């Protein structure tokens, strides 16, 4: 059984999807062992506590720079012997000091079809606002490995969601979460924990 550490910053609906997937046996090859937030008041922490999962708060302001913050995150995950780190709405960019120590073992969910509407500055509702401003008819969500490029790591799973007439960033965010993120994030975590993902360049093979 793999040990999963989840990084959160906000409401934690993706964390909830992972917890529910564990309850329902969809996530069965890994167990959520730790939830770390960079925001002390994040509701995601309450969700973790309600599920009996250990929590930590690690705030960027308590470290001299992004590297020191990233190293503290890595120390915490190592201390808890975490095998897979899941970024589930984690809003702080980490550096090599974190992802270098967990290379190939960090996944992130992004609320769009990468390589569209991603990279620096594209997070949360901003992504959906950009999708609506552009006028695309299809959007969705992507789960990918995390490397040194923001939203640039190899893609594990993607799912399309329709943009509808009259959508607002809020209605579109809700549909993307419900129809894509909450489904593909737990699926990807299970695939990783079951040892079913092989990385071949940028191509992720699913056994």
Out of 123, 140, 190, 191, the residue judged to bind ligand GAR by CB under 6 A: 123
Whether 192 contacts 143, CB under 8 Å? no
Which is nearer to ligand GAR, 38 or 181 (by Cβ)?
181
Q: Select from 27-35, 65-73, 106-114, 154-162 the region that touches ligand GAR (CB under 6 A).
A: 106-114
User: What is residue 59's three-state secondary structure?
Assistant: coil
Under rule CB under 6 A, residue 38 binds ligand GAR: no
41 is in an annotated binding site: no
Question: Applying CB under 6 A, does 11 fall inside the site for ligand GAR?
Answer: yes
Stretch that binds ligand GAR, among 8-16, 48-56, 164-172, 194-202 (CB under 6 A): 8-16
Annotated catalytic, 110?
Answer: yes
Whole-Å CA distances, 190 to 34, 49, 57, 104, 141:
16, 22, 25, 15, 17
For residue 166, the minimal CB distance to ligand GAR (Å) is 20
CA gap 56, 49 in Å, rounded: 11
Question: Is 3 among the annotated ligand-binding positions?
Answer: no
State phi, psi for 10 to the nearest 5 degrees.
-135, -130
The two structure tokens encoding residue 39: 């925001």
b or e along 10-38 (b: 16 or more beta carbons within 10 Å of the residue's beta carbon)? bebbbbbbbbebbeeeebebbebbbbbbb
Among 12, 30, 153, 186, binds ligand GAR (CB under 6 A): 12
Residue 12 assigned to a binding site: yes
The residues binding ligand GAR (CB under 6 A) are 10-14, 44, 88-89, 109-111, 123-124, 127, 177, 181
């Amino acid at each position: 059984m793999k040990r999963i550490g989840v990084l959160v910053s906000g409401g934690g609906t993706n964390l909830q999807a992972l917890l529910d997937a564990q309850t329902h046996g969809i996530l069965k090859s890994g167990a959520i062992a730790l939830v770390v937030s960079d925001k002390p008041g994040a509701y995601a922490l309450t969700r973790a506590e309600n599920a009996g999962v250990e929590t930590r708060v690690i705030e960027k302001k308590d470290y001299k720079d992004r590297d020191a913050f990233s190293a503290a995150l890595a120390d915490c995950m190592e201390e808890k012997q975490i095998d897979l780190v899941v970024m589930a709405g984690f809003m702080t960019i980490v550096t090599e000091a974190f992802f270098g120590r967990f290379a190939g073992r960090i996944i992130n969910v992004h609320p769009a079809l990468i390589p569209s509407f991603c990279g620096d500055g594209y997070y949360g509702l901003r992504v959906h606002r950009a999708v609506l401003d552009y006028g695309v008819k299809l959007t969705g969500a992507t789960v990918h490995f995390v490397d040194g490029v923001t939203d640039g790591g190899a893609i594990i799973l993607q799912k399309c969601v329709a943009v509808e007439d009259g959508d607002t960033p809020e209605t579109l965010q809700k549909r993307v979460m419900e129809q894509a993120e909450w489904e593909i994030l737990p699926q990807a975590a299970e695939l990783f924990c079951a040892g079913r993902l092989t990385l071949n360049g940028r191509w992720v093979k699913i056994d």
